[in-house]
């Protein structure tokens, strides 16, 4: 395959699928990339939107539409389907017209999409419709300013490799379907959980032509399956209520759904992404793997995550003090023992490119500022390097190879506040270049203190994080 970037968690369809509800019928993926209901619709940030992003942490511009992915040479994405949760819309502002306007402003999906979510009671139907939205333009050639591009939905690694190795591979985006939040299985949002229907919906997922590779088990609000970690802050956090189910464990139904997803008797295994699960639920899931699957090798996945620098949920102390204080020490981020478990399982951790997740408040408050873009990018890319460095030193200390479990899981278009200077997938190459500088400087000054097998050149380090680790992981598990 030619060189390209990979992203294991982003939302190319969130905004254009939402905008499709402005038309009739809803859910139409327009092959005219200039229409907002097209997954190819390119909307770069204007001055007002950049200011809004800096002040309020809200990205109104598109970050991972297919045109932006094409411009950024991002050729492999795990595209996360996401039935928008009612918890965003049934919030502290109520369901009045002003509240709807705020919801629309925050999510960027359009007023009619907000109205639709407020009116439905079945997440699974919405999930299927979003999947159909992707299928409509699968393989369609779309003309952009940089030439004709297409995306192809892929069901396994062989298909992925064939598309990207073909003569047209430079102009093809391979799309791997994933799902964020198993609330997506819920056929009755307001009602008690129906075990039979939840499990039937898992079976239905596995019959899709492009069955999900993995699913993020929890999300922002209680899903009747497990507890979630607190995730919403700022304007969004102030108007929403995440208290129900917060920090609780896996429910009886949750264990049954996990077994159905991981089972092989009802179709291909669907892997579990532990991001957004409460710390207790994550702990219980890893205990489940050890107890119920002792002879099976099931990789741990955290698709859009960050390290928190603390030893464990039970012992929240910092062992690596030089790096830990720079990280956000909250339990939506991963503890050291969880990162070690990911590495030992042959799993994968994608770095979320959200400033509010990757760095502590003190680091963000004291970060250097500049009017020059190159300096802004140097300072902000260091926030990501601090994450890489912590994981490197943690795994090296535990005598583990550090460089095969890290990737990018940007969460672009997932209501994030991106690293300043790297606002969209279009700038993935620039982010790699600046991270390579930090890696080079670190290895030059500190590399000799690492185990010999972790002393890699800077260019290999960033190539692994931005591309080859994902390819190797999918070659092994996406079968």
Q: Can you give the pLDDT at residue 37?
A: 97
Q: Distance between terminal CA atoms of the chain?
A: 18
Q: Can you give the pLDDT at residue 101?
A: 45
Q: Can you give the pLDDT at residue 98?
A: 47
| Pick from 263, 264, 231: nearest CA to 246 | 231
Q: Can you give the pLDDT at residue 99?
A: 53
Q: Can you give the pLDDT at residue 6?
A: 98
Residue-wise pLDDT tens digits, 260-317 = 999 999 899 999 999 999 999 999 999 999 999 999 999 999 999 999 999 999 999 9
Check: pTM over 0.85? Answer yes or no: yes
Residue-wise pLDDT tens digits, 83-124 = 999 998 876 666 554 455 455 555 688 999 999 999 999 999
The segments of the chain whose pLDDT lies below 50 read: 97-98, 101
| Pick from 40, 21, 220: nearest CA to 129 | 21
Instruction: Encode 159-176: b = buried (16+ Cβ within 10 Å), e = exposed.
Output: bbbebbeeeebebbbbbb
226 alpha carbon, distance to own chain's centre: 19
Alpha carbons 2 and 13: distance in angstroms, whole number: 26
Structure tokens at 468: 């080859």
Q: Residue ranges of the domains in the chain?
A: 316-326+336-479
């Amino acid at each position: 395959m030619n060189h390209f970037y990979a992203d294991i968690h982003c939302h190319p369809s969130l905004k254009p699928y939402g905008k499709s509800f402005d038309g009739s019928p809803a859910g139409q993926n327009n092959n005219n990339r200039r229409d907002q209901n097209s997954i190819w619709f390119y909307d770069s940030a204007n001055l007002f939107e950049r200011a809004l992003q800096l002040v309020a942490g809200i990205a109104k511009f598109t970050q991972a539409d297919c045109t932006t992915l094409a411009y950024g040479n991002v050729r492999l994405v795990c595209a996360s389907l996401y039935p928008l949760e009612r918890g965003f819309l049934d919030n502290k502002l109520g369901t009045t017209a002003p509240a709807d306007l705020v919801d629309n402003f925050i999510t960027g999906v359009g007023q009619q999409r907000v109205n639709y979510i407020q009116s439905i009671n079945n997440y699974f139907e919405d999930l299927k419709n979003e999947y159909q939205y992707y299928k409509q333009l699968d393989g369609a050639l779309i003309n952009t300013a940089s030439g004709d591009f297409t995306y192809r939905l892929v069901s396994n690694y062989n298909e992925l490799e064939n598309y990207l190795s073909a003569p047209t591979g430079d102009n093809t985006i391979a799309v791997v379907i994933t799902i964020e939040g198993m609330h997506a299985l819920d056929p009755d949002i307001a009602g008690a959980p129906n075990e039979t229907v939840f499990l039937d919906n898992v079976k239905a997922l596995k019959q899709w032509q492009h069955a999900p590779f993995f699913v993020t088990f929890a999300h922002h609000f209680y899903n009747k399956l497990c507890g979630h970690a607190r995730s919403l802050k700022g304007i969004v956090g102030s108007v929403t209520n995440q208290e129900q189910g917060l920090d609780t464990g896996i429910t009886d139904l949750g264990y049954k759904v996990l077994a159905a997803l991981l089972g092989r008797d009802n179709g291909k295994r669907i892997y579990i992404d532990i991001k957004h699960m409460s710390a207790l639920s994550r702990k219980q899931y890893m205990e489940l793997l050890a107890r119920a699957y002792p002879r099976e090798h099931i990789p741990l996945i955290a698709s859009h995550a960050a390290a928190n620098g603390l030893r464990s949920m039970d012992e929240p102390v910092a062992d690596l003090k030089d790096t830990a204080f720079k990280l956000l020490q909250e339990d939506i981020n991963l503890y050291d023992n969880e990162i070690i478990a990911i590495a030992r399982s042959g799993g994968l951790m994608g770095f979320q490119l959200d400033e509010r997740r990757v760095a502590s408040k003190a680091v963000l408050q004291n970060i250097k500022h500049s009017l020059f873009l190159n300096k802004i990018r140097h300072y902000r890319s260091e926030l990501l390097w601090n994450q890489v460095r912590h994981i490197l030193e943690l795994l090296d200390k535990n005598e583990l190879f550090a460089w095969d479990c890290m990737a990018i899981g940007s969460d672009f278009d997932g209501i994030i506040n991106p690293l300043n200077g790297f606002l969209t997938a279009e700038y993935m190459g620039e982010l790699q270049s600046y991270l390579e500088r930090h890696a080079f400087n670190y290895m030059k000054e500190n590399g000799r203190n690492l185990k010999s097998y972790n002393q890699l050149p800077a260019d290999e380090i960033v190539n692994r994080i931005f591309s080859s680790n994902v390819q190797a992981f999918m070659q092994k598990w996406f079968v």
